[in-house]
């Protein structure tokens, strides 16, 4: 049975907001227009609205379609109904005595142009809210763990159907159905079932191709709970030609993943986690077959901060949640990716995903 998750109590939102307000000057306002960030800070799950946060006050604005929903989901905010966003912003900025407005990185150029007409100084807010979202609190962890549980339980239900003759699409559809039955209202991304030569493409989608003897089969999927996502990958092998080579590749990826997981600890630069996996793959002679970063944050979005790649500049902090997903993709032969989710604890990585990581062999019948 899916666990029902309660919305976060007010105190969780207050904590998030306090950290943001601390960053603001006395006559500065933060305009939050990313709906993911609006949800993170207010609990509102609708698709239109904004937040204006300042030392002098805070307002949540949405339009009449969401009046009832906002009343239920949002508390502790001054709720404003907007007809014209610029008029509402002008009124609120005056009320809060703002001279400067900080805007989010993904603001469209057209909207930025209209903001300019407000006559306030405009400054980028950089990724202030996204940076807060990197570290998960206990309530977020409950949702993420449930999203993992739903994903894993759905996969186990579908496992018997992963066999020769089944098409990639039919497996993906069964998995999607199972995820919904487990309680995931949202499917975080198009499920990848990539078999045989298709598995050599890291971002392949499910096709009509049917599984055949000797196939490596990459399955990359995730679940959802309380708006939070999970993301994981397992690679299976259908008994058949070139099995030795494919087992060898699997072994290298697994060793690289173990190394990367054991490299996770508070204070370590994110790029070192990537390096530790990459070194193993390079030394085994497959360096040019591992083209993507080793991991990414997961939360209200499937891909969020922190990025765990060779280019990452940040350090790992306690309570961050991210994937570790090295892979080797050999055109013509096939690919292997193993993806798990970890949470950073004081003494290293805690694994959130629990399905066995050894190579699962499927007999061809």
Min dist CB 302 to Zn ion, Å, is 7
Closest approach of Cβ 190 to Zn ion, in Å? 11
What x/- string results for residues 18 through 57 when contact with Zn ion is judged by CB under 5 A?
Answer: ----------------------------------------
Give me the long-range contacts of 100-104 (CB less than 8 A, separation at least 24). 100/25, 100/27, 100/28, 100/29, 101/28, 101/29, 101/31, 102/24, 102/28, 102/29, 102/30, 102/31, 102/128, 103/31, 103/33, 104/31, 104/32, 104/33, 104/34, 104/37, 104/129
| 40 CB neighbour count, 10 Å cutoff | 23
DSSP per residue over 38-106, as a string? Answer: HHHHH---SSS-EEEEETTEEEEEE-GGGHHHHHHH--SSEEEE-SSHHHHHHHHHHHTT-SEEEE-TT
Q: How far is the CB of 189 from Zn ion (least distance, A)?
A: 7
- State in angstroms the smallest separation of the CB of 322 from Zn ion: 9
Dihedral sign, CA of 19, 22, 26, 28? Answer: negative
Q: Between 323 and 353, name the residue whose CB sits nearer to Zn ion.
A: 323
CB of residue 235 vs Zn ion: minimum separation in angstroms? 12
Residues 85-124, mask of contacts with Zn ion (x by CB under 5 A): ----------------------------------------
Q: Which is nearer to Zn ion, 142 or 339 (CB)?
A: 339
Q: At what angle do helices 10-21 and 35-42 cross, to 10 degrees?
A: 120
Residue 142 dihedral angles phi and psi, to the nearest 5°: -60, -45
Only segment of 42-50, 108-116, 333-341, 348-356 that touches Zn ion (CB under 5 A)? 333-341
C-alpha atoms less than 13 angstroms from C-alpha of 236 in its C-beta half-sphere: 25
Nearer to Zn ion, 125 or 264 (CB): 264
* The pair of three-digit structure tokens given for residue 296, joined into one six-digit string: 């990414």
* 3-class state of residue 309 by DSSP: coil
**Site membership for Zn ion, residue 340 (CB under 5 A):** no
Alpha helices in 159-186 (DSSP H): 168-181
Q: For the segment 259-288, give every residue that binds Zn ion (CB under 5 A).
A: none
Shortest Å distance, C-beta 295 to Zn ion: 7
Q: Which is nearer to Zn ion, 16 or 258 (CB)?
A: 258
| Per-residue binding letters, 201-230, with Zn ion (x by CB under 5 A) | -------------------x----------
User: Which lies closer to Zn ion via its Cβ, residue 93 or residue 235?
Assistant: 235
Q: How far is the CB of 323 from Zn ion (least distance, A)?
A: 4
Min separation Cβ 39 and Zn ion, Å: 21
Task: Produce one character per residue of 48-87: b if its CB has 16 or more CB atoms within 10 Å, e if not.
Answer: ebbbbbbbeebbbbbbeebeeebeebbeebebbebeebee
- Residue 231 within binding range of Zn ion, rule CB under 5 A: yes
Site string for Zn ion, 302-331 (x = CB under 5 A): ---------------------x--------
Q: Say how many residues touch Zn ion, by CB under 5 A.
A: 4
Kind and range of the H or E run holding 279: helix 270-283
Nearer residue to Zn ion within complex by CB, 219 or 280: 219
Which residues, numbered 177-196, are part of the site for Zn ion (CB under 5 A)? none
Least distance in angstroms from the C-beta of 259 to Zn ion: 18
Contact set with Zn ion (CB under 5 A): 220, 231, 323, 339
């Amino acid at each position: 049975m899916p666990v029902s998750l309660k919305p976060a109590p007010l105190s969780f939102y207050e904590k998030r907001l306090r950290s943001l307000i601390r960053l603001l000057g006395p006559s500065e306002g933060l305009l939050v227009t990313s709906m993911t960030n609006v949800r993170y800070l207010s609990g509102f799950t609708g698709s239109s609205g904004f937040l204006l946060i300042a030392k002098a006050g805070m307002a949540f604005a949405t339009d009449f379609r969401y009046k009832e929903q906002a009343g239920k989901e949002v508390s502790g905010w001054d709720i404003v109904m907007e007809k014209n966003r610029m008029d509402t912003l002008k009124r609120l900025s005056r009320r809060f005595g703002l001279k400067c407005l900080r805007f989010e990185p993904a603001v469209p150029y057209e909207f930025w142009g209209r903001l300019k007409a407000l006559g306030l100084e405009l400054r980028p807010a950089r990724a202030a809210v996204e940076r807060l979202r990197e570290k998960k609190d206990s309530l977020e962890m409950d949702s993420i763990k449930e999203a993992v549980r739903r994903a894993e339980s759905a996969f186990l239900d579908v496992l018997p159907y992963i066999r020769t003759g089944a098409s990639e699409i039919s497996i993906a559809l069964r998995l999607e159905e199972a995820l919904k039955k487990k309680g995931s209202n949202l499917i975080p991304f198009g499920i990848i079932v990539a078999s045989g030569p298709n598995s050599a493409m890291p971002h392949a989608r499910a096709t009509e191709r049917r599984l055949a003897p000797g196939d490596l089969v990459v399955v990359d999927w995730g679940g959802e709970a309380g708006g939070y996502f999970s993301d994981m990958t397992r690679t299976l092998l259908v008994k058949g030609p070139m099995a030795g080579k494919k087992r060898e590749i699997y072994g290298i990826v697994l060793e690289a993943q173990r190394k990367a997981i054991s490299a996770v600890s508070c204070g370590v630069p994110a790029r070192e986690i990537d390096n530790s996996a990459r070194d193993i793959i390079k030394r085994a002679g497959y360096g040019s077959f591992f083209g993507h970063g080793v991991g990414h944050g997961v939360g209200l979005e499937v891909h969020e901060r922190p990025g765990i790649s060779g280019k990452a500049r940040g350090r790992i902090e306690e309570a961050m949640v991210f994937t570790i997903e090295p892979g080797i993709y050999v055109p013509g032969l096939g690919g292997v990716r193993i993806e798990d989710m970890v949470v950073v604890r004081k003494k290293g990585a805690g694994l959130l995903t629990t399905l066995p990581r050894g190579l699962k062999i499927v007999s061809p019948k």
